[in-house]
Structure 1
Amino acid sequence: MPFSWDLSLLHQINTAWSHPVLDWLMPALSAIEAWLPLIIVAVLITAWRGGKRARVMLLCAGIAVALGDGVISNTLKKTIGRVRPRDARADVIIRDLGHGSPAFMRLFEKPVVKPSEPNGATHGKSFPSSHTVNLFAVATVIACFYRRAGMVMYLLAAAVAYSRIYCGAHWPSDIPPSMALGILVGLALVGVARRTIRGV
């Protein structure tokens, strides 16, 4: 069961503070798969032009996502089993991008905005937020190597974390611990890298 403040803040973000522009922007931020072509291009350019330091950073970021998403988030989701707001309550608004193929074409479709209809089925688990863990881990890795770029990435990570509440996928209380997990994963991997790889 959510805390009273948790439920109140969810309703504020998910319902009261809504806007048609945010109804597209927030799902767009959440749909990381839609941005995958751009992410791949950015990674390839960084690996090509950035030198050893940038390539070590990319290695740390990749391991951070694999560890944060595949091990930590997956294990905690299965262990804790917290139900998502949109699967638990009928007063939550579900927001998502429209259907499209390939995935980036979803960015050009009309967003889906509809009330939740809980029927006992679940679509993933709520805690932790994998999006938040992954992006804060990556932001931490980047900040350890390139401070200014890392600060920009932290802002993006925070926006994505907010979008998960706005879209009805997570409770507000899921987010701070997920941020902390991501930061810890990022710091740990950079620490290991600096102890094992010279010149970074």
Structure 2
Amino acid sequence: MPSWDLSLLRHLNIQWSHPVLDWLMPALSAIEAWIPLIVIAVLLTAWRGGRRARIMLLCLGIAIALTDGVVCNILKKTVGRVRPRDLVEGVIVRDLGNASPAFLRLFKAPVVKPAEMRNETRGKSFPSSHAANMFAAATVIACFYRRAGTVMYLLAAAVACSRVYCGAHWPSDIPPSAALGVLVGLGVVAGMRRWLPRKA
């Protein structure tokens, strides 16, 4: 790996740590913990947002399905890049404590521990599904609602950074993963506009 990649990983994962970030970053990464809130937001948007919002939600679902289930899945298996926590000595793994249902994890103390090196030759570090999915979602939302999209891009960037902070991804995984998400989001919206030329 490039020396700058390893150096930036050590800064983001080890040197620039803080107790608040030790909870916040894993919380941003734990998408499953936010599912109840996401479901409520989707239902309210579909109910109160009108046709424009429902088409946006359709694009959102398609974009995330393509990004996560097709693009990232294929690339992870093809590239096989090992995660830093499985390869680099001294990497810190950060996560939320276990709880059921998953949203209760947000109220657990974070788990911060040195990674157990596995010296694996293949892994699933590239691309970052979290980064790709979030940037795909932000792009779709921005195509329909610019201000909300700007907020989503900021959230997507925070989630992407959290993956490095938690030791799950290399810094160099993030920009191309974000670009993949943006491209898929734009492609889905463009396709939908061609299919439904009258949509708002």
Q: TM-score, normalised by structure 2?
A: 0.97
Q: Tell me how far 1:199 sits from its aligned partner.
A: 2.3
Letter of the 1:184 counterpart: L
Tell me the alpha carbon deviations over residues 67-109 of structure 1, each in whole angstroms, 9 at most, x when there is no partner.
0000000000000000000011121000000010000010111
Q: Is the 8 A contact 2:80 2:124 kept in 1?
A: yes
Q: Tell me how far 1:120 sits from its aligned partner.
A: 4.0
Asked if 1:91 corresponds to 2:83, the answer is no
Give the aligned partner of residue 48 of structure 2.
Answer: 49
> Aligned pair count?
199
Q: Tell me how far 1:123 sits from its aligned partner.
A: 9.9
Q: Is the 8 A contact 2:138 2:153 kept in 1?
A: yes
Alignment partners' CA distance in 1, 2:79 and 2:158 = 25
Matches within 5 A, 1:17-56: 17-56=16-55
Letter of the 1:113 counterpart: V
Give the aligned partner of residue 199 of structure 1.
Answer: 199
Give the aligned partner of residue 114 of structure 1.
Answer: 113
Give the aligned partner of residue 146 of structure 1.
Answer: 145
Letter of the 1:27 counterpart: P
Alignment partners' CA distance in 1, 2:122 and 2:34 = 22
Q: Is the 8 A contact 1:84 1:122 kept in 2?
A: no
Task: Output the aligned Cα RMSD.
Answer: 1.2
Alignment partners' CA distance in 2, 1:123 and 1:107 = 31
Q: Tell me how far 1:65 sits from its aligned partner.
A: 0.6
Could you tell me the percent identity over the aligned residues?
A: 73
Alignment partners' CA distance in 1, 2:33 and 2:47 = 23
Matches within 5 A, 1:176-187: 176-187=175-186
Alignment partners' CA distance in 2, 1:170 and 1:119 = 15
Unaligned runs of 5+ in 1: none
Asked if 1:172 corresponds to 2:175, the answer is no
Alignment partners' CA distance in 2, 1:63 and 1:122 = 33
Letter of the 1:199 counterpart: K
Alignment partners' CA distance in 1, 2:82 and 2:179 = 21
Give the aligned partner of residue 66 of structure 1.
Answer: 65
Letter of the 1:175 counterpart: I
Letter of the 1:62 counterpart: G
Letter of the 2:183 counterpart: L
Asked if 1:132 corresponds to 2:154, the answer is no
Alignment partners' CA distance in 2, 1:28 and 1:124 = 23
Alignment partners' CA distance in 1, 2:90 and 2:178 = 26
Unaligned runs of 5+ in 2: none
Alignment partners' CA distance in 2, 1:17 and 1:128 = 24
Alignment partners' CA distance in 1, 2:122 and 2:96 = 16
Letter of the 1:21 counterpart: V
> The residue matched to 2:113 in structure 1 has which SS?
strand
Alignment partners' CA distance in 2, 1:195 and 1:53 = 15
Letter of the 1:148 counterpart: R
Name segments (4+ residues, structure 1) moved above 6 Å: none
